[in-house]
Structures are given as structure tokens and as C-alpha cells.
């Protein structure tokens, strides 16, 4: 059995996959730190847009099905 974890913080979108023994099979993080640095902090509208734009790519990169091909 594999466990999928999806996490979004104010400036990161992450997807991880572990197996039933707790081994990390995938851990992909998309960071927005550089994007927000020019504003001196996180801009919520930009952050939410970035999460929507990148969650599919982060998920695809972490997907065990995709990596088996």
C-alpha cells in the first residue's frame, strides 16, 4: 500500500508518496519564495494562483504510476 500526502502552505505546494514501511518514494516541492521576495512577503492572491497552476505538475512528478513507465 502507498500513501499520498498533499500539502500547501502559504508559499509551497508539495506532494509526497510513502510505502507501507514508511520509505519515501517521492517528495516534490514547488516553492514560491523567489516570487514573493520582491514584495517583501507572501501575497495571498499570487500564492493561490501559483498553487492552482502547479499542483498538477507537482502531482505528476511525484506519481508512482508515472515513474514506473
Report pLDDT for 66. Answer: 56
* Total of domains in the chain: 1
Supply the pTM of this predicted model. 0.77
pLDDT at 17: 93
Task: Quote the domain boundaries for residue 21.
Answer: 2-68
**CATH code for the domain in which residue 6 is found:** 3.30.420.40
Instruction: Give pLDDT tens digits for 2-55.
Output: 999 999 888 899 999 999 999 999 999 998 888 888 999 998 888 898 889 999
- Per-residue confidence (pLDDT) for residue 10, from 0 to 100: 86
Residues sharing a CB contact under 8 Å with residue 48, sequence separation 6 or more, in sequence order: none
Amino acid at each position: 500500500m502507498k500513501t499520498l500526502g498533499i500539502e500547501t502552505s502559504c508559499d509551497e505546494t508539495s506532494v509526497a508518496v510513502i510505502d507501507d514501511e514508511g520509505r519515501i518514494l517521492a517528495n516534490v516541492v514547488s516553492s514560491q519564495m523567489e516570487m514573493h521576495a520582491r514584495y517583501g512577503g507572501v501575497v495571498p492572491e499570487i500564492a493561490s494562483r501559483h498553487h492552482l497552476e502547479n499542483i498538477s505538475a507537482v502531482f505528476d512528478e511525484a506519481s508512482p504510476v508515472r515513474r514506473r513507465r
